[in-house]
Amino acid sequence: MLRVLSLYPVIPAVLVALCGISLIVLGLVYPSGRVEHRPTLAEIQQKHEMALAEVMHSGVSGNVSSKDFSDGLGLALNSPVAQGQVILTIPEHLAISVDRPHSCVPPQEMTGGWRARTWAMSGRGFWPESPNLACEVERRVVADVARKKATRLTGVLSLMVVEWLAAKGLVASTAAAPEVLQLLPDLQWQQENGLFALDPEELRVLGSGTSMHHWRDVAVNETSVALEYITSELGPLLGAGRVTLDHVRWAYLVVHGFGQGEGPGPPPEDLELPSQVWFLWPLFLARPTAEPEHAALLRHNKAEQVYEVLAPRDMAASEELLFLDLRLTDASALCFRGVWVTAKHRAQLKLPLSSRLKGPSVPLMQKYGCLSQTQNLNLIVPVSRDVAPAFLSCMRMAAADPEMLQRLETRGWFDNWPLTLPIDQRNEQSAAQLAVELLQKVLERLTQSNNELRQRFGSASVVQRPCVRVREAETMVVVSLLKSMQELALLSSNEYLFEALRDAQRESLQEA
């Protein structure tokens, strides 16, 4: 049967954290490098419970607990919740944000029920009579980001580094969640694991054509820029020579590995840090998922000065609370968490569409996430027998003329987005042919360095060259999708087969 029925496979909540990729796995699974001491599961679970108790004492409201899900530790609901119900309420000072200096808000200026609770913590150093170091740093960073003197990424990296210094007692400030920081990789981890530990020459050859091909060059440049900013602008506050490149690189991996998406949306392009990615300390104790239907929704309640974590659907007691990782792929797992994905492989595809579109189509394509600011279709696609609905729907849009798209919007064609039905036989065939053309170019980029790869690394094991895993996974994704689109092009060329296909997809959409 044709593999292009536009439905996501349903993945149980306990499996969506790919191969146990979690905050805890980061300390246990190493594709390369050397570890002096690996803590036992009991030690890690004790630290996880202590970290949760710490953030709950710091003003978090909710009914969750630490739980071992057999493939990793995470957060579990203690009681059922309905869709849209608030699971956790997190005060603003337990977030890393470049939008507002949260540490500068004294208890008497807080609203709601948080005032009394946070006032009791003032003895811990959060709100002394004179502005503390965290407040001064946040004020500087927020102001510099606002006037474009620093990028959002540089600002977040700066604040993350200050949190680490405060947790270690190296600066005169109090960390917001020191016990949570204890669960993150140590400072030296990035030297032997993750993106900065990958051999540049290996990445040049084995990473050629993959989504991570230029990541190391970008990361080296961005961390250098951030270190220069911290040294020149924050050095007088933190102390000369206090922050090193190791600090910034550590923060870079944490930021890209643990950022929490506020809700469904396209993945970040390359290594950008969009405003839809947040950093709430309590959710550093949760595990990621790439599936929006399983991920908690995040909302900033500015009136109450809190962040709210909402249930994505009706959830039962003991079910896992997961956050959305907008960039979770085989490449990001290796580069930012230092682990391999052993199943549910995923790859980020960037397909150029600008030359295929007429001007009036662009706003509508952007509205539904089919066109990025750089005029690419930017999607994360899994290896699956079912074509990702967003991919097929975007191809249908790209193959339609602007007038047709406007009529489709008024007729409700987008109502179940990303699930859509074929527009007509001609459009379906054009969409499939366009997809085949674009995917063949991606496959050519992946295979063009095969000869050099065999000559240079043919005898190397996967453990020695972890980039091989990512290359194989992304090739599988592209080949699987290409085969499905070739099948669709063939079937849509026949009137009777196309009608049967459309009827089958209409029935599937009604069931969904």
For residue 418, whether the previous peptide bond is cis, meaning omega lies within 30 degrees of 0, is yes
User: Residue 343 has which token pair?
Assistant: 């199943």
Most confident of 35-44, 69-78, 198-207: 69-78
- Please identify which residue in the block is written with the tokens 């005898």: 459
> Which one, of 312, 288, 310, lies nearest residue 301 by Cα?
310
Quick one: pLDDT at residue 105?
62
451's CB contacts (< 8 A; 6+ apart) are none
Helix axes 467-492, 425-447, angle to 10 degrees: 150
Contact assessment for residue 349 and residue 381, using Cβ atoms and an 8 Å cutoff: yes
Q: Which residue has the higher pLDDT, 313 or 118?
A: 313
Range of lowest pLDDT (27-31, 177-181, 284-288, 444-448): 27-31
pLDDT digits (tens, 9 = 90+) for 441-491: 999 999 887 777 777 766 555 556 788 889 999 999 999 999 999 999 999
Please give the C-alpha separations between residue 462 and each of 12, 445, 468, 470, in angstroms, as whole numbers.
29, 21, 6, 10
353's CB contacts (< 8 A; 6+ apart) are 365, 370, 371, 375, 376, 377, 398
**Average of per-residue pLDDT across 3-15:** 28
Which residues is 75 bridged to in the sheet? 66, 321
Q: Is the pLDDT of residue 22 over 50?
A: no
CA angle 301, 305, 310 (to 5 degrees): 40
Quick one: pLDDT at residue 106?
57
d(CA 338, CA 190): 9
pTM (predicted TM-score): 0.86
Q: Is 70 exposed, middle or buried (0-12, 13-18, 19+ CB in 10 A)?
A: exposed
Helices (H) and strands (E) in the chain, counts: 18, 12
d(CA 341, CA 288): 13
Kindly indicate the confidence band of residue 284, based on its pLDDT and cuts at 50, 70 and 90.
very high
